[in-house]
Amino acid sequence: MRQLGLLLGLLAAGWAVGTGTGEVGGSDAFLFLTLLLLAVGLYGSTSDISVREAREHLGLIGLAVTVGVVAKAALIAGALWLALDDPAYLVLAITVAQVDPLSVAALRDSSRMSPRAKTILSVWASFDDPVTVLLTAFTVPLVADGAGIGGSASGYAVQLGFSAVLVAGAGAVWFFLRLWQGRGADVVGVVLVGGMLVVAASYTLMLGIAVVGLFFRPAFLGRWVGAVTRGAYAVAAFLLGMLLVGGVSVGYGLVLGASAFAAHAVVASVLTRRLGRADRVLLALGQQNGVTAIVLALSLEPAFPRAPAIVAPAIVTVNLLHYAANSAVGGRNGQAPWRRGGPWRRGGPAPWRRGGPGRRARGAGAGPTAGSGAPAGRGR
């Protein structure tokens, strides 16, 4: 509840400041700041990923960031088709089809997911953003004239090329930094990470900075990544509040947000059918939107003036649903339901969690068995 209260408080503060400063969403400084926050979120999310864990679930993650994103966008667009009076605005389905890496990074510590499920969601959130941008680049020219997201398929291909250059350069530098042991190498590494974040935000090299986070990990920075990503999440929420000054389309936003949350639940349930039940449920309830959707809404504004007014309440709706659903199943800010003897444990509480004669069953060899209801895969 504290996290949700913080989100709403930051939104209100941003709205109050925005009321006094006027419309700021279209300024270059605002767009750069949101892109910088996105880059920070991407780096923070991937730099906390266990590469070994990610490699074990590479097939699932690949499906999630390709087929999953397209399927979610299609399901959301179907719901919007019934609500919107302008079919061109179906492109907004793509803006909320991704899982926001900044939100995932900020909230993962309080999640009751297993380490395996956290890794899957983190990688999913980090690498579906470039796919979302690519879908937007292809879709906008088909449904609208004029400026769209400021690029095209060919422009996106150029960005992919420069992202590859960024990754190659970072890899070469990291190789030499690993040879140069000591505090000086660590400081240089931190400075270089800051520079790469600025470059990624300046030239929209989001895929590049996400890949860099998988290997370019200065030890000193690792101790502060969590705090930095939580701070970036707070700033993003404040900026979102400033966007609300221009007005909101509450009805359409509710439909868009609810559709995004439901579509993720459907797609995630299908893709994760081989995981344990507890992880499947929490991954299905893992949809979050934030700075990525803000950036796309701002970029779409020239061709779709109503985009920010619809996307802003949709983001709030998704995050409200995320908190409510995860709280209902005990996935956040409390014990997980499989630890409370709730409906997920058919036989009720395990004997070693009660008083009485059954308590001695906690002895050697009496741990959870296949029939105890312990979530599959836990402890790996």
For the chain, the structural domain boundaries read 2-335
CA gap 85, 104 in Å, rounded: 33
Please list the alpha-helical segments (H only) found in 144-249.
Answer: 153-179, 183-203, 206-212, 219-222, 225-243
* pLDDT for residue 164: 92
pTM assigned to the model: 0.74
Q: Residue 10 corresponds to which tokens in the numbers above?
A: 């930051």
CA gap 108, 119 in Å, rounded: 10
pLDDT (tens digit per residue) in 38-53: 888 888 878 877 777 7
> Does the domain made of 2-335 have the CATH classification 1.20.1530.20?
yes
Q: Residue 274 corresponds to which tokens in the numbers above?
A: 């081989």
Does residue 111 sit in helix, strand or coil? strand
Alpha-carbon distances of 190 from 34, 177, 193, rounded to whole Å: 21, 11, 5
- The answer to which of 89-103, 205-219, 295-309 has the lowest mean pLDDT is 295-309
Q: What's the pLDDT band for 379 if we cut at 50, 70, 90?
A: very low
Which of 172, 241, 239, 247 is closest to 212 using CA atoms? 172
* pLDDT for residue 174: 92
- The answer to which of 68-82, 131-145, 179-193 has the lowest mean pLDDT is 131-145
First to last CA, the chain: 29
Instruction: Look at the block and give the residue holding tokens 């949101």.
Output: 34
Q: Residue 314's CB: how many other CB atoms inside 10 A?
A: 30
Q: What's the pLDDT band for 254 if we cut at 50, 70, 90?
A: very high
8-state DSSP, 214: T
8-state DSSP, 27: S
- The answer to which of 95-109, 165-179, 191-205, 269-283 has the lowest mean pLDDT is 95-109
- The answer to which of 54-63, 121-130, 146-155, 305-314 has the lowest mean pLDDT is 146-155
Asked if residues 105 and 119 have their Cβ atoms less than 8 Å apart, the reply is no
From the centroid of its chain, how far is CA 278?
Answer: 20
CA gap 103, 83 in Å, rounded: 27
Q: What's the pLDDT band for 373 if we cut at 50, 70, 90?
A: very low
Sign, Cα dihedral of 18, 19, 22, 25: positive
Averaged confidence pLDDT in the chain: 78
Q: What's the pLDDT band for 358 if we cut at 50, 70, 90?
A: very low
pLDDT at 365 over 60: no
pLDDT at 345 over 60: no
pLDDT at 376 over 50: no
Share of the chain above pLDDT 70, in %: 79
Task: Supply the Cα-derived Rg of the chain in whole angstroms.
Answer: 22
Asked if residues 132 and 352 have their Cβ atoms less than 8 Å apart, the reply is no
Alpha-carbon distances of 241 from 38, 120, 259, 349, rounded to whole Å: 17, 30, 22, 44
Asked if residues 340 and 123 have their Cβ atoms less than 8 Å apart, the reply is no
Higher confidence at residue 129 or residue 314? 314
* pLDDT for residue 172: 94
In a 10 Å sphere around its CB, with 0-12 CB exposed, 13-18 middle and 19+ buried, how is residue 180 labelled?
Answer: exposed
Please give the single-letter amino acid code of residue 96.
V
CA gap 10, 76 in Å, rounded: 27
pLDDT at 258 over 90: yes
> Which positions ≥6 away from 245 have C-beta within 8 Å?
15, 18, 19, 22, 23
Asked if residues 103 and 290 have their Cβ atoms less than 8 Å apart, the reply is yes
Between CA 226 and CA 130, with CA 277 as vertex, the angle to 5 degrees is 45
Q: Residue 106 corresponds to which tokens in the numbers above?
A: 């900020």
